[in-house]
Structure 1
């Protein structure tokens, strides 16, 4: 099976207020497609109309939150007209107090794309130059260094997005061409003038759900691939342990009409040869981690379409405050920065993914144990003769999988229920959506590690089973993948460190190098 190469395309992801998909964000994050700001006159005029209305309102002494007033609890503070132009720069300056790891390049590109998508809806009162500056960061891959921690997920991702605002204005640091550099230096090298923010533009950049939504887009794609990979791994484990493929019978699953669960069972039927009756020596019923695999993975499969809807609705929303209605010429004060839908999606997704990790962990525990694997050697060691006594097969791999699974399960505590009251009780109910998204990414990372170890076990277990039973043959797609694994991973006969092979497989999973159950 040939590795799956990135699908590079000259077709841009266009930001013009039209609906985007989470795959659009994913493609931008991996630099598979370029970003392009819409050029249609109607789009540009809508953006300009909102900015012009704000200018006119200011000239007429209108009161606008975050423009002529302070921020948050400081809404009662009036800003002297001579200082209004300075206020947006103070907003990103005092929010420069993030901590933790920096977002990865992929995550940062997704954040830039997600914020640009929201501002392009035409309800934020920003000027075209701000949108163009975001487009240029994506075009030239100038990536603000964004600390991952510091957002409570309501009033938006204020602190992490302050690093985006600062870079647009030529401040703080960026990652560019493999190096950390001052933003001012990179913008100068590229001939890009630092932005001078208009009265509401600091608020428009920072007061939204771009970080949590960007991370959610990437998490969804990884979870969807893991769902299909876990199904293929289950098929490998059924074959290796001489399990009963008839547990996935079509008539059986028609009796319980969860579409995702039925889809998993259909994929298992395609991978396993089920046209022969069960052999007499087989267990009538396999243990739950094999027999009920469609019921576990199916929860994730059925949740994914719903979570997609929540994430994409947020992606295609105007989610700062206040919103500017350029047609009705109104300033609409509300709370669209609240990330409750993303928080719920990420809390739910991490739960479903962690359950899949637990399923695979249980399958491996059966597969390495000679009491339950129907004739395979202990720990799937291929060592024979006198040397079998000193070789340990996948003993340590099973321990590591157990550790990663336990940590994934520990991460499933919902973040969204831990709302805090912040900012003088103005932000007294917050979503914790960004924390939920980061938790979800950690669960995905751990589950990908579990899946990578399971690929080593699949290569080992199926080969050993086929030595015992020449009729143990998978379907064509599964057979091609096993051949690919054999080419990647030498059979484990003598003990060796497996970390290099494990890391290679983790990378292959994240690149989605195997085509899995495309139908």
Structure 2
């Protein structure tokens, strides 16, 4: 079995996806084990000395002034998990929960949290044996970390809550028993260490990012089919145009489109049919490129976040100190997820306008709504309606969650990030964008039926053939939702990149 070795410092976005979706085995590095043990010694030293330390010998939040006796420290941690398990809504998908568990493990592996090694091992065993805690999607404020959802993760570790195991939802204790994993009793600091972090928003963020990076490549490919179908002008994609405004993403998008339409007889030169195209064609590099640059920013934030210590207090074993700080605050991820949702919305916005240009005969030389028997048939008319509906929905979802804050814990925690809401919204926007691109793929392929006799580009021809293997040309009206869903699957599966690789085209 393929493995990911975690040490707290070198986890990649690709590693997260491998564990979350491909079920790679997780192994804790030897150096990480020593750091975890070293950190735990400090907690036990403070307990023995009877020191007053937040989260170890005190209550939480507003109760931080309440000192807890040494005898009650285990009960304190269990009560913390039970009381904080207030999540509501549908369970998060399996891949998200697996990513959450991996990220929390990686944070603990840094050695600043004070947990026991056996506690970390329990979390790894659950991942490797696919015990998936039922974590409700709603309930996190994104500061003091993702407290409520992470508490649901820990419930299963202590034999409570619910989990999915071998496709069945069951009590957490039963799932652990069937998987052969002993439940644990939380010791001092451990409950707090397990739930005080940004791993839910970051897990959603990593999967969103991975999918967004693939989707922006697909957007370039789909737009290239539309460019051909509308006899678009290739001059706007000239490398010299991009060099004099050297945004990295812009240059990549232009290059992708040039490669897609290489050898095409359908694209035109300026002045051949018209002097210049509408913005939705001419500005593909500028719009897609800006989104690509936004995605790059999000990636840098997440690469830092998933290799960070985000709980509180933090234990610095080399100095023998415990410091209360604010690394649990999700603001970096919250802003990045809001930015991602806004950026991705623009891909759908420009795609929908390209769809309109394809179906509106007042804007092209194609049959109205791409059907030869208009009137009797409505053709692709309502496909544009659906795209417009999704674009409008995205405008609502793109409202930033991070600009809101509601104080909690009797005003002790008086500014929160709402980062998990931002990440969940970005996930919904991502799906809507993929669907709009699927509609454009379907419509552009239909438009190309009316461009027979012209050679398609090296890349566009491969994508067109891929669509036609699964979706027949529209000759008479039929249930188009089936075709839309098929094109969505083509986009979501990564098949477009694979068929392009067969002809030597690597989308960047």
The residue that corresponds to 2:250 in the other structure is 261
Within-5 A mapping of 1:236-255:
236-255=225-244
Contact kept in structure 2, 1:224 and 1:304, CA below 8 Å: yes
In 1: Cα distance, 2:61 partner to 2:187 partner: 19
The question of 1:139 aligning with 2:128 is answered yes
The residue aligned with 2:469 is 487
Contact 1:245 1:273 in 2 (8 A): no
Match of 1:424 among 393, 410, 434: 410
Aligned with 1:355 (options 346, 351, 361): 346
What SS does structure 1 have at the residue aligned with 2:495? coil
Task: Give the equivalent residue in structure 2 for 1:11.
Answer: 2
Residue 392 (1) aligns with residue 378 (2): yes
Give the stretch that moved more between structures: 509-518 or 312-321: 509-518
Deviations 1:67-110 (A, max 9, x none): 11110011011112221110111111011211122100111111
> Structure 1 residue aligned with 2:212, among 219, 223, 226?
223
Q: How far apart are the structure 1 equivalents of 2:120 and 2:184?
A: 11
Return closer, same or farther for 1:368/1:79 CA change in 2, 3 Å cut-off.
Answer: same
Structure 1 residues 134-163: Cα deviation after superposition (integer angstroms, max 9, x where no partner): 111111111111111111100000000000
Deviations for 1:424-453, whole angstroms, at most 9, x for unmatched residues? 111101111111111111110111111111
Indicate whether 1:340 and 2:326 are aligned. no
In the alignment, the residues of structure 1 paired with residue 352 and residue 137 of structure 2 have an alpha-carbon distance, to the nearest angstrom, of: 30
Q: Say how many residue pairs are matched.
A: 499
Q: Relative to structure 2, which stretch is displaced further, 296-305 or 142-151?
A: 296-305
Alpha-carbon distance change, 424 to 145 in structure 1, aligned in 2, over 3 angstroms: same
Whether the 8 Å CA contact 2:358–2:444 is kept in 1: the answer is no
Does the 8 A contact of 2:32 with 2:110 survive in 1?
no
Alpha-carbon contact 1:144-1:164 (below 8 Å) kept: yes
CA RMSD of the aligned region, Å?
A: 1.5
> Map of 1:127-276 to 2, 5 A cutoff?
127-273=116-262
Q: In the alignment, does 2:23 pair up with 1:68?
A: no
Q: Distance in 2 between matches of 1:484 and 1:512?
A: 12
CA distance in 1, matches of 2:203, 2:86: 21
How far apart, in 1, do the equivalents of 2:126 and 2:405 lie? 33
- Write the deviation string for residues 228-254 of structure 1: whole angstroms up to 9, x where unpaired: 111111111110011111111111111
Does the residue aligned with 1:389 lie in a helix, a strand or coil? coil
Q: Which runs of 5+ in 2 are unaligned?
A: 501-505
Give the direction of change, closer, same or farther, for the CA distance of 1:372–1:273 in structure 2 (3 Å limit).
Answer: farther
Residue 518 of structure 1 deviates from its aligned partner by 3.4
Question: How many Å apart are 1:502 and its aligned residue?
Answer: 2.1
Question: Could you state the TM-score of these two structures normalised by the residue count of structure 2?
Answer: 0.95
**1:505 to partner: Cα distance:** 2.9
Residue number in structure 2 paired with 1:107: 96
**Separation in 2, partners of 1:35, 1:355:** 37
The match for 2:426 among 436, 440, 449 is 440
Distance 1:503 1:176 in 2: 29
1:376 aligns to 2:366 (yes or no): yes
What SS does the corresponding residue of 2:375 show, helix, strand or coil?
helix
The reply on whether 1:294 has 2:285 as its aligned counterpart is yes
2:21 maps to which residue?
30
CA distance in 2, matches of 1:479, 1:111: 40
State the distance in 2 between where 1:33 and 1:511 align: 19
Partner of 1:7: none
- 2:253 and 2:272 map into 1 onto residues whose CA distance is 26
Structure 1 residues 96-133: Cα deviation after superposition (integer angstroms, max 9, x where no partner): 21112210011111111111111111110011111111
- What CA distance in whole angstroms lies between the structure 2 residues aligned with 1:255 and 1:480? 32
Which range is displaced more, 71-80 or 501-510?
Answer: 501-510
Question: Which residue is equivalent to 2:503?
Answer: none
Unaligned runs of 5+ in 1: 1-9
Aligned partners of 1:506, 1:239: CA distance in 2, in Å?
21
**Alpha-carbon distance in 2 for matches of 1:275, 1:139:** 49
1:471 aligns with 2:454: yes
Residues 499, 64 of structure 1: alpha-carbon distance in 2 compared, 3 angstrom cutoff? same
- Partner-residue secondary structure (3-state), 1:100: strand
1:245–1:274 CA contact under 8 A, matched in 2: no
Q: Does the 8 Å contact 2:400/2:422 carry over to 1?
A: yes
Q: Name the CA shift for 1:508/1:29 in 2 (closer, same or farther; >3 Å).
A: farther
Matched residue SS, 1:123: coil
Out of 505, 511, 517, the residue aligned to residue 487 of structure 2 is 505
Q: Give the alignment's TM-score, normalised by structure 1.
A: 0.93
For residue 279 of structure 1, report the CA deviation from its aligned partner. Answer: 7.1
